[in-house]
Amino acid sequence: MLKIGPIEMKNQVILAPMAGVCNTAFRLIAKRFGAGLVCAEMVADRGIIHHNQRTLDMLYVDERERPLSLQIFGGSRETLVQAAKYVDKNTNADIIDINMGCPVPKVTKCDAGSRWLLDPDKIYEMVAAVVDAVDKPVTVKMRKGWDDDHIYAVRNAQAVERAGGQAVAVHGRTRVQMYEGVADWDIIRQVKESVGIPVIGNGDVRTPVDAKRMLDETGVDGVMIGRGALGNPWMLYRTVKYLESGVLPPEPTAKEKVDVCRIHFDQLSKLKGEHIASMEMRKHAAWYMKGLSCGNEVRKRINQCETGEELRQVLIDFRETLQPEAAPTV
Ligand SMILES: Cc1cc2nc3c(=O)[nH]c(=O)nc-3n(C[C@H](O)[C@H](O)[C@H](O)COP(=O)(O)O)c2cc1C
């Protein structure tokens, strides 16, 4: 079973950190759908140490979400350590994760995110400084390298281990690839063979069968699922069940999709207020409705909703048009 430091997970299925997605509202859903560990969206170290209210709000963890991993990112050792100390003392997160994978220029140009992948010594220094400063276990999420000429995943993971990091998650793409191409699972296998700490595999796990294949082919300790769970928390539940029993549970029905979309919206409204939730729900609703007949039409109507009341009504009306047994078309 997956164990990170003293924290034991009930299974090997992990919700990936996703900015703008993995707040309490979605994480609670992921938890109800069985995820063994949920990761929060990345939080800027400087926002934490300057006590920016919006940043501090992102540190909220509901007890029901635990075990939870909270990810921070930053460019300087001092700010990263200070932010990690704040998270250590002031939140009920179980794990502090350091982002070494974010490819966006806004982050890499500040020497944060995937920029560090070019320098195993810097990784060692940063992780060791954070590990020394906090009590909670520290982990790292990284990409396989910066570009095809700089694939240092093995050395970087070894640096994390030497520095006292308790686990490493590897996304099998380079920074330059962003989200293009295919994730390289062989490098994940190589990392697993090179370190003693738990390794979590990530990239292109789209179906429960993919998850099993990643575990079998790479020997990793856990599988991390990102885009496959967008509007589709059933992916988490079905993967947990498939890994447990070898039997693939059915896909959700259209009604189930609409119902969970509504629950998601209600939880997002509690967290952010109806107006912001209505805006943010547009992308989630598009993901929930993907593949449903009339899903496109519903998505367009949701994009025009100005209030939470309107949005709920669109979902209620759509639900009434569905046959009891209607299943998604994909
Ligand atoms: C919308 C979105 C937001 C993301 N935000 C983060 C983030 O905050 N921190 C992080 O380490 N990775 C982030 N990622 C990367 C994912 O955690 C994951 O590594 C990547 O999507 C590959 O996994 P997948 O093929 O299962 O989606 C994000 C990905 C997406 C699609």
User: Is 261 one of the catalytic residues?
Assistant: no
In order, the DSSP letters of 79-131 are HHHHHHHHHHHH---SEEEEEE----HHHHTTT-GGGGGG-HHHHHHHHHHHH
pLDDT score of 4: 98
H-helix or E-strand spanning residue 170: strand 167-174
Whole-number Å distance, alpha carbon 325 to ligand 1 midpoint, is: 33
Predicted local confidence at residue 260, as pLDDT: 98
Of all residues in the chain, the percent with pLDDT exceeding 90 is 90
Q: Report the pLDDT value the prediction gives residue 75, as an integer from 0 to 100.
A: 85
Helices (H) and strands (E) in the chain, counts: 14, 11
For residue 179 the two structure tokens come to 């989200």
* Neighbouring-strand partners of residue 139: 97, 167
Closest CA to 143 of 176, 189, 165, 96: 176
C-alpha to C-alpha distance for 101 and 169, rounded to whole angstroms = 10
CA atoms within 13 A on the CB side of 163: 28
Instruction: Give residue 313 CA to ligand 1 midpoint distance, Å.
Output: 31
What's the pLDDT tens digit per position in 210-268? 999 999 999 999 999 999 999 999 999 999 999 999 999 999 999 999 999 999 999 99
Q: Which domains does the chain have, with CATH numbers?
A: 3-245 (3.20.20.70), 254-321 (1.10.1200.80)
Q: pLDDT value at position 82?
A: 98
The alpha carbon torsion through 177, 180, 182, 184 (nearest 10 deg) reads 20
Q: Which pLDDT value is given to residue 327?
A: 57
Expressed in angstroms and rounded, the spacing between residue 66 Cα and the centre of ligand 1 is 20
State how far the alpha carbon of 322 is from the alpha carbons of 234, 258, 328, in Å: 19, 10, 11
Pocket test for ligand 1, best of 227, 282, 283 (most atoms within 8 A of CB): 227
Within its chain, how far is the Cα of 194 from the centroid? Answer: 24
- pLDDT at position 122: 93
Crossing angle of the two packed helices 120-133 and 153-162, in degrees rounded to 10: 30
Q: Which atom of ligand 1 is nearest to the CA of 21?
A: 1
Of ligand 1's listed atoms, the one at least distance from the Cα of 97 is: 11
Q: Are 97 and 139 in contact (CB under 8 A)?
A: yes
Rounded CA-CA distance 95/88 in Å is 9
Active-site position among 39, 102, 261, 305:
102
State the alpha helices, DSSP H only, in 246-273: 254-272
pLDDT value at position 98? Answer: 97
**Nearest C-alpha neighbor of 264 from the set 236, 295, 285:** 285
Which residues does a 6 A CB cutoff place in the pocket of ligand 1? 16-21, 41-42, 71, 99, 101-102, 141, 171, 202-205, 225-228
Nearest CA to ligand 1 atom 26: 226
Amino acid letter, residue 217: E
Residue 328 Cα, ligand 1 centroid: separation in angstroms? 25
Each residue's pLDDT tens digit in the chain (330 positions)? 899 999 999 999 999 999 999 999 999 999 999 999 999 999 999 999 999 999 999 999 999 999 999 999 998 999 999 999 999 999 999 999 999 988 788 777 777 777 889 999 999 999 999 999 999 999 999 999 999 999 999 999 999 999 999 999 999 999 999 999 999 999 999 999 999 999 999 999 999 999 999 999 999 999 999 999 999 999 999 999 999 999 999 999 999 999 999 999 999 999 999 999 999 999 999 999 999 988 899 999 999 998 999 999 999 999 999 976 655 655
Instruction: Determine the Cα–Cα distance for residues 277 and 325; give it in Å rounded to an integer.
Output: 30
16, 225 contact by CB (below 8 A): yes
Ligand 1, atom 6: closest residue by C-alpha: 18
> CB atoms < 10 A from the CB of 88, how many?
17
CB atoms within 10 A of CB 61: 18
**Cα 226 to middle of ligand 1, angstroms:** 6
pLDDT of residue 103: 78
Check residue 114 and give its pLDDT: 77
